[in-house]
Amino acid sequence: MTSEEDIAALDQQVYQAPVLFEWEYIGGESKDWIRLLTAIVSPGIGTGLLLLLFVLDDSDSIGVYAFLTTMMLMGFLMTRYLFLPDSHYHYKLTKLGIHYTKEDLIPEIAYTLVRGFAWVGIAVCLIALFVIGPLAFVGAGAFALMAFGMTNFKSKIDQHRILFADANILFNLKNDVLLDIIPKKKMKLAFSGTIYATSLEKKESIIAELIQQLGEVEVVDIKRLNEQYKHPVYTSAQSEQ
């Protein structure tokens, strides 16, 4: 088992080692249609619960529907562009591992719109207060928190790395740009990770570069991501437990 001191030393070395190959990727960690569906469904559930509260309170007015529409639209924008944004990955391959940066690509217009809708939401809730009663205070408070919370909210660049073990496995998800790297022996999480390519052709070139640097490596083609857990490296570890 590699000690924490060894990993700390390797962390420093992997960033200092010469870069042999580099590439970029822009996208999300999940499928675009999944993120879009989540962005639609998540605020829809919340809005539906609020609608139920208003129905139980016998509220039926334009103010109610304006309030719910604003909530729904703001929830969609926040979920899609703030919580599930595209990210810019910049990978650099060295002999010791891969280090890369990840930056969420959140358009400034998203911040502006969310802040704007939050302030509009406050106004709508205060107007609705005279129509639907105290329940509007709940929405007004939520919008106020959101407006102030978005004031200094900015994207940041995170540093990550995947260290190479002496023997590794590459799980190649066919018809996808995803590639998982794990060690053949049980090791720290620093030696495992997922990388992405811009295309299937680019992924093949990345695999070729990795094979040259990894030494002892097994490339396993899989059709579904969960198929990798049927590999002996996982099943043997489970049996040992």
Q: Which residue has the tokens 């010791």?
A: 96
pLDDT digits (tens, 9 = 90+) for 28-83: 765 554 545 554 555 555 555 555 545 545 555 555 566 666 666 666 666 656 66
Cβ neighbors of 43 (< 8 A, separation 6 or more) are: 71, 72, 74, 75, 76, 78, 79
Q: How far is CA 173 from CA 25, 82, 149, 200, 223, in A?
A: 16, 28, 39, 10, 6
β-bridge mates for residue 237, sequence order: none
126 and 196 together in one domain: no
Phi/psi of residue 21, each to 5°?
-165, 140
220 and 122 together in one domain: no
CA distance 216 to 87: 31
72 and 11 together in one domain: no
Half-sphere exposure of 7 (CA within 13 A, CB side): 13
Tokens (6 digits) for 190: 């620093």
Half-sphere exposure of 96 (CA within 13 A, CB side): 17
46 and 141 together in one domain: yes
Per-residue pLDDT of the chain (241 residues; tens, 9 = 90+): 578 888 889 999 999 999 999 999 998 765 554 545 554 555 555 555 555 545 545 555 555 566 666 666 666 666 656 666 788 999 999 999 999 999 988 777 666 766 666 666 666 656 655 555 555 555 555 555 555 555 555 667 899 999 999 999 999 999 899 999 999 988 788 899 999 999 999 999 999 999 998 878 999 999 998 999 999 988 875 555 5
181 and 221 together in one domain: yes
Instruction: Mark out the alpha helices in the chain (DSSP H runs).
Output: 4-16, 32-56, 62-77, 108-132, 136-149, 200-214, 232-240
Work out how many domains the chain is built from and give that number.
2
CA distance 195 to 180: 6
Tokens (6 digits) for 54: 């208003």
The boundaries of the domain holding residue 180 are 4-28+96-101+158-240
Q: What is the pLDDT of residue 93?
A: 97
Instruction: Mark out the alpha helices in 17-100 (DSSP H runs).
Output: 32-56, 62-77
> For the whole model, what pTM was predicted?
0.67
22 and 120 together in one domain: no
Q: What is the pLDDT of residue 188?
A: 83
170 and 110 together in one domain: no
22 and 39 together in one domain: no
42 and 126 together in one domain: yes
| Cβ–Cβ < 8 Å for 155, 103 | yes
Q: Of all helices (H) and strands (E), which one includes residue 170?
A: strand 167-173
132 and 65 together in one domain: yes
Q: What is the pLDDT of residue 99?
A: 97
82 and 189 together in one domain: no
